[in-house]
Structure formats: C-alpha cells, structure tokens
C-alpha cells in the first residue's frame, strides 16, 4: 500500500476549504505507519464488521477499506459526509455511512439491520477508531455496557485515559473505567502515539488501546454492579460506604450497608479505589442472596 496521508489531508482541506473543528475533537491522523499499525492490531477478516466512529476526512477509513471487512462509518459532522462519499466513491459497496452522534444510536439495532440488508451474519463486530477525545469515556462505556454485539474495541485515546484503563488498585488512576474494563474483558495499551502524528496536533500524547470483550464472571444483576461501581466512585475522596449512602445506592440505609460490609469482612474505612473487582461482585451477590 502506498498512501501519502499527509499530502492527501492537506489536499482535502484545501479543496473543500475546511478547517478542523475543535468542538468535534477533530485531530486528523496523518502518520501512515500508525494508521497501518492500527489495522494490524485489529486483525481483521472478511466476516468482521468494522464500526468506525468519527471517520472525519477518511484517513483511517482509507486503510480499513483496503481490508476485506465491511465498514459502518458514523460521523457527526455533516461537512464530512460529501468528502467521504467523494473520496470512497469506488468503494461504495463496502461501507455504510451514518451522519449522526454515535451516543444517540442503538448500535446493536444498526448491526442487525445491516445484517439483514447485506444478507450476512458477521462473525465479529470490531470498533476501530481514532476517537474524539471530548467524549472518550461515554463512548467506551456505551461500547462496553450497551452494545452486546461488539466483540473488540481498538481505539486511539489520550494516554491518560489509556493508563486509567489498565491501572492497578490503590493508585489514583484506578477507577470506574478500570473496573468496567476488567469486568467486561481484557484491556491492553498497544502503543503510544506522538502529538505530531496529527493535524492539528492535540495538546496531549495519545495511545492505541485494545479491549477484547470476554466475561470471566457471572454476575446475577449486572445493572446493580455497574451502579455500585459508579456510585462508589461518585465521591472518590470519601469512604466508599459514605459515598454509597450519599448517593442512595439501592435505597439502602447506612446500617444495611454496614451489615453487608461486616458480613463480607470489608473495612468500613475503605475507599473505592482500594477494593478489587472481586469485592464489588461479592457485594452484589450478597445483596441479592439476602434480598436487600
């Protein structure tokens, strides 16, 4: 493949007379080595569906469309739609482009509709994207919690977010994102990406991460587990038991919460970042078996 993404990007920006929009987190990836490494990490096959969130000018899309996988492109910026359709006119049978906010969409329904339209069942659904950083966390939560059909996530995020994903407990980085990823699968930082790999250069260093969804735990009430995790960290500096009470977790009184902690031999002084995932799961199982 011989693609010169820097000159292509400059040419498109000039031709359509547009500038990157800060409010949509537009930092276009221009480093061909990085682009091709992202595709390698995704390990794509012809039965995979790729969902690219925020194709922008199509720099990563150009690489994705060279593979045998079908692409579902979701872009919020209407100015990008004609650009993408012009750029990939010869590949139009290989992609579907939706002009919408990804957070507003039901991805499982869209995948099902696409399977019907194409009369094929995808083996794996993989999100491959250079994410808009202003909404990285809500996008990752959506992909992990709400979109059952997604198997793998390979995305560029800011380095700090990548570090939070794989943090160890008792560190400042350990939090909701860490626990959610640990519960839902296996997260890995694949490689670090310099600011100069983008036009315009962002203020922060980036990293490509992969999350392979694979559940190792069988929890009777996942919704309650997610709620427990979120509310435990809602007041991070406070003791976990107080944070849960202040945020009215499961409508439980302080006494009821203390009873659960006592039964599970969890110290009342513990803070949310000190507990491993297994303890969060035990709390849910206890609450459910005791009908609390």
Question: By the criterion CB under 6 A, which residues form the site for ligand SAM?
Answer: 24-29, 53-57, 59-60, 74-77, 80, 101-103, 130, 132, 135
Q: How far is the CB of 193 from ligand SAM (least distance, A)?
A: 11
Q: How far is the CB of 244 from ligand SAM (least distance, A)?
A: 31
Q: Which long-range contacts (CB under 8 A, 24 or more apart) does 183-188 make?
A: 183/215, 183/217, 183/219, 183/225, 183/277, 184/144, 184/145, 184/211, 184/213, 184/215, 185/144, 185/211, 185/212, 185/213, 185/214, 185/215, 186/211, 186/212, 186/214, 187/211
Q: How far is the CB of 61 from ligand SAM (least distance, A)?
A: 7
Output 74 or 154, the one with its CB closest to ligand SAM: 74
Q: How far is the CB of 213 from ligand SAM (least distance, A)?
A: 21
Q: How far is the CB of 263 from ligand SAM (least distance, A)?
A: 43
Q: How far is the CB of 196 from ligand SAM (least distance, A)?
A: 14
Output 129 or 275, the one with its CB closest to ligand SAM: 129
Cβ burial of 49 (10 Å; 0-12, 13-18, 19+) is buried
Q: What is the three-class DSSP state of 222?
A: helix
Output 71 or 135, the one with its CB closest to ligand SAM: 135
Output 85 or 262, the one with its CB closest to ligand SAM: 85
Residue sitting closest to ligand SAM (CB): 54
Containing 186, the helix (H) or strand (E) segment is strand 185-193
Distance CA 109, CA 34 (A): 31
Output 60 or 176, the one with its CB closest to ligand SAM: 60
Is residue 181 within 8 Å of 165, Cβ to Cβ? yes
Output 59 or 245, the one with its CB closest to ligand SAM: 59
């Amino acid at each position: 493949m011989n693609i010169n993404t820097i000159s292509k990007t400059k040419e498109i920006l000039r031709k359509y007379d547009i500038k990157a929009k800060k409010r949509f987190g537009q930092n276009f990836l221009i480093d061909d080595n990085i682009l091709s490494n992202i595709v390698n990490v995704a390990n794509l096959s012809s039965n995979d569906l790729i969902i690219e969130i925020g194709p922008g000018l199509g720099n990563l899309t150009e690489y994705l469309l060279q593979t045998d996988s079908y692409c579902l492109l979701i872009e919020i910026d209407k100015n990008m739609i004609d650009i993408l359709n012009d750029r990939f006119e010869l590949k139009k049978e290989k992609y579907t482009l939706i002009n919408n906010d990804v957070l507003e969409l039901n991805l499982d329904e869209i995948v099902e509709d696409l399977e019907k339209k194409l009369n094929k069942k995808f083996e794996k659904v993989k999100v491959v994207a250079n994410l808009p950083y202003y909404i990285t966390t809500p996008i990752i939560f959506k992909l992990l919690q709400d979109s059952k059909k997604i198997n793998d996530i390979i995305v560029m995020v800011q380095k700090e977010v990548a570090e939070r994903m794989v943090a160890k407990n008792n560190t400042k980085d350990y939090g909701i994102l860490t626990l959610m990823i640990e519960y839902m699968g296996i997260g890995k930082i694949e490689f670090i990406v310099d600011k100069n790999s983008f036009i315009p250069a962002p203020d922060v260093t980036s990293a490509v991460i992969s999350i392979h969804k694979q559940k190792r735990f069988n929890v009777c009430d996942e919704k309650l587990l997610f709620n427990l995790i979120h509310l435990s960290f809602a007041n991070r500096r406070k003791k976990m038991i107080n944070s849960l009470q202040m945020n009215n977790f499961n409508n439980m009184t302080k006494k009821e919460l203390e009873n659960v902690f006592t039964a599970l031999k969890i110290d009342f002084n513990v803070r949310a970042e000190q507990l491993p995932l297994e303890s969060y799961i035990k709390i849910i199982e206890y609450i459910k078996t005791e009908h609390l």
